[in-house]
């Protein structure tokens, strides 16, 4: 069933050729990502099936929604998913490495999103035949190191743009520290728990450029970091008993919400 198309309310995702299937992380980021600044251009880094880009096409009026994917099969599938949607005229997928893309492109984007690979190479499972090589590559952080991601975003983000990312919670401070070196600072953080009793599993973070933070704390990174109080999102009370907050966030997309 994992290879079956995934039906959302306004679009369908084919995923039989993608190593990374539709999962909670991508849907969370697609629903949570900031669009209050009415972005005219959006970039989805490591688009996979294209689900986040499609969700943002549904949510926004952005004229340009570009996606980037290195894996051959995922690139072809994302392109087909885009072409089969109601927003095919606004969606385009580039087949390139992030470093190559960031080096060669001159445009900037008002909104950049990424659900990056997050398994460090040192934590790669050994002897696990259930994970194909392409799935391993899709999930290991050495396929897209945070340093590369932040560096590319610093070049590609417009002056008033917002960068949104979802990462393992234990890496939250790492990426915030890296981003601060590129003068990108967190303005919104949501920490995600599976249920009320489980530990925090993911962090969704929105970053903006230094010039966009309040002037009274500009230059005082520690005080600014402490002023951004994380919000908490719990997905479910019990198995398939979803919280009101999660339903509210995803109800425009999931068929059964």
pLDDT in tens, 146-157: 999 999 999 999
CA-CA-CA-CA dihedral for 20, 21, 23, 29, to nearest 10: 60
- Determine the Cα–Cα distance for residues 132 and 27; give it in Å rounded to an integer: 23
Measured over the CA atoms of residue 48, residue 52, residue 55 and residue 57, the dihedral's sign is negative
Interhelix angle 51-59/72-83, rounded to 10 degrees, is 30
Q: Where are the alpha helices (DSSP H) in 63-132?
A: 72-83, 98-104
Q: Which domains does the chain have, with CATH numbers?
A: 6-250 (3.40.50.150)
Tell me if 57 sits within 8 A of 91, measured CB to CB.
Answer: yes
Quickly count: other Cβ atoms within 10 Å of residue 187's Cβ. Answer: 18
Give the contacts of 185 (CB within 8 A, at least 6 positions apart).
179, 207, 208, 209, 210, 213, 221, 224, 225
Residue 228 confidence class, pLDDT cut points 50, 70, 90: confident
pLDDT digits 0-9 by tens, 99-127: 999 999 999 999 999 998 765 444 444 44
pTM for the model: 0.88
The mean per-residue pLDDT over the stretch 173-189 comes to: 92
The mean per-residue pLDDT over the stretch 173-199 comes to: 94
- Determine the Cα–Cα distance for residues 173 and 175; give it in Å rounded to an integer: 6
């Amino acid at each position: 069933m994992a290879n079956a198309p995934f039906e959302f309310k306004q679009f369908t995702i084919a995923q039989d050729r993608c190593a990374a299937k539709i999962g909670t992380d991508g849907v969370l980021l697609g629903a949570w990502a900031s669009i209050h600044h009415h972005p005219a251009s959006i970039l989805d880094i490591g688009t996979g099936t294209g689900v986040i880009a499609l969700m943002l096409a549904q949510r926004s009026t952005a004229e340009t929604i570009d996606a980037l994917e290195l894996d051959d099969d995922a690139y072809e599938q994302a392109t087909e998913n885009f072409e089969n949607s109601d927003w095919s005229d606004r969606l385009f997928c580039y087949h390139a490495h992030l470093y190559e893309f960031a080096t060669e492109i001159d445009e900037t984007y008002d909104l950049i999103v990424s659900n990056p690979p997050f398994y460090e190479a040192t934590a790669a499972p050994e002897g696990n035949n259930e994970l194909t090589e392409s799935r391993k590559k899709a999930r290991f952080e050495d396929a897209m190191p945070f340093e590369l991601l932040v560096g590319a975003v610093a070049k590609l983000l417009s002056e008033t743009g917002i960068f949104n990312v979802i990462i393992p919670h234990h890496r939250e401070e790492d990426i915030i520290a890296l981003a601060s070196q590129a003068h990108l600072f967190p303005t919104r953080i949501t920490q995600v728990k599976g249920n009320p009793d489980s530990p925090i599993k993911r962090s969704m973070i929105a970053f903006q450029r230094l010039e966009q933070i309040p002037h009274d704390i500009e230059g005082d990174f520690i005080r600014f970091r402490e002023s951004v109080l994380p919000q908490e999102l719990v997905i479910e009370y019990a198995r398939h008993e979803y919280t009101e907050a999660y339903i509210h966030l995803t109800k425009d997309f999931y068929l059964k919400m």
